[in-house]
Amino acid sequence: METTLRGVGVSHGVAIGEVRHMGTAVLEPPAKQIPADEAPREQGRARQAVEAVANDLIARGNLAGGEAQAVLEAQAMMAQDPELIADVDRRIAVGSSAERAVYDAFAAYRALLANAGEYLAGRVADLDDVRNRIVARLLGVPMPGVPDSEEPYVLIARDLAPADTALLDPTLVLGFVTEEGGPTSHSAILARALGVPAVVALPGATEIAEGTVIAVDGSTGDIFIDPSPEKRAELTEAAAVRASALAASAGPGATSDGHKVPLLANVGGPADLPAALEAGAEGVGLFRTEFLFLDSSEKAPTEEKQVAAYRQVLEAFPEGRVVVRVLDAGADKPLDFLTPADEPNPALGVRGLRILLEHPDVLRTQLRALATAAEGLPVYLEVMAPMVADRIDAKAFADACREAGLRAKFGAMVEIPSAALRARSILQEVEFLSLGTNDLAQYTFAADRQVGAVSRLQDPWQPALLDLVATSAEAARAEGKSCGVCGEAASDPLLACVLTGLGVTSLSMGAASIPYVRATLAKHTLAQCERAAAAARATDTADDARRAAQAVLSGE
Active site residues: 186, 486
Q: Which does 487 bind (CB under 5 to 8 A by kind): Mg ion, ligand PEP, none?
A: ligand PEP
Tell me the C-alpha distance between 311 and 303, whole Å: 12
Segment contacting ligand PEP by CB under 6 A, of 242-250, 366-374, 431-439, 517-525: 431-439
Q: In what side-by-side order are the strands of the sheet with 198-200?
A: 3-6, 222-225, 213-217, 14-21, 153-157, 173-178, 198-200, 8-11
What is the smallest separation between the CB atom of 382 and ligand PEP, expressed in angstroms?
14
Hey, what amino acid is at 116?
A
Fill in the per-residue mask, 402 to 421: x = in contact with ligand PEP (CB under 6 A), - = not in contact: -------------x------
- Residue 353 amino acid letter: L
Q: Which does 452 bind (CB under 5 to 8 A by kind): ligand PEP, Mg ion, none?
A: none
CB of 130 or CB of 356, closer to Mg ion: 356
Q: Which does 393 bind (CB under 5 to 8 A by kind): ligand PEP, Mg ion, none?
A: none
351 touches ligand PEP by CB under 6 A: no
449 known member of a binding site: yes
Q: Which is nearer to ligand PEP, 159 or 415 (CB)?
A: 415
Annotation-wise, does 266 bind a ligand? no
The only residue of 288, 351, 409, 531 in contact with ligand PEP, by rule CB under 6 A: 288
C-alpha span between 324 and 310 (Å, rounded): 9
Considering the complex, state which of residue 7 and residue 487 has its C-beta at the smaller distance from Mg ion: 487
Distance CA 350, CA 342 (A): 11
Q: What region, left, alpha or beta, does residue 214 occupy, with left being phi > 0 and alpha being psi -120 to 50 degrees?
A: beta
| Angle 477-483-489 from CA coordinates, rounded to 5° | 130
Per CB under 5 A, 436 contacts Mg ion: yes
Stretch of residues binding Mg ion (CB under 5 A), selected from 130-138, 212-220, 329-337, 407-415: 407-415
Q: Is 285 in the site for ligand PEP (CB under 6 A)?
A: no
Beta-bridged to residue 175, according to DSSP, are 154
CB of 486 to ligand PEP, least distance (A): 5
- Of the pair 379, 416, the CB lying nearest Mg ion is at 416
- When CB distances are held under 5 to 8 angstroms depending on the partner's kind, the choice from ligand PEP, Mg ion, none that residue 286 binds is ligand PEP
> Rounded to an integer, what distance in angstroms lies between the CA atom of residue 166 and that of residue 206?
21
171 neighbors 17 (Cβ within 8 angstroms): no
Indicate the SS3 state at residue 508. Answer: strand
Q: How many other CB atoms are there within 10 angstroms of residue 266's CB atom? A: 27
Query: Is 123 marked within a binding site?
Result: no
Residue 519 exposed, middle or buried by CB count within 10 Å (0-12, 13-18, 19+): middle
**Pick from 217, 282, 290, 439: which binds Mg ion (CB under 5 A)?**
439
Considering only the stretches 2-10, 13-21, 146-154, 433-441, report the one whose residues sit in contact with ligand PEP under the rule CB under 6 A.
Answer: 433-441
Stretch that binds ligand PEP, among 6-14, 375-383, 417-425, 436-444 (CB under 6 A): 436-444
DSSP H stretches of helix in 446-525: 463-479, 493-501, 514-521
Known binder of ligand: residue 439?
yes
Q: From the list ligand PEP, Mg ion, none, which binds 404 (C-beta under 5 to 8 Å, kind-based)?
A: none
> CA–CA separation, 44 vs 50, rounded Å?
10
Angstrom CA distances, 484 to 278, 285, 552, stand at 22, 8, 23
Instruction: Please report, as ranges, the residues that interact with ligand PEP according to CB under 6 A.
Output: 286, 288, 328, 415, 436-439, 486-487
- Binding site feature residues for Mg(2+): 415, 439
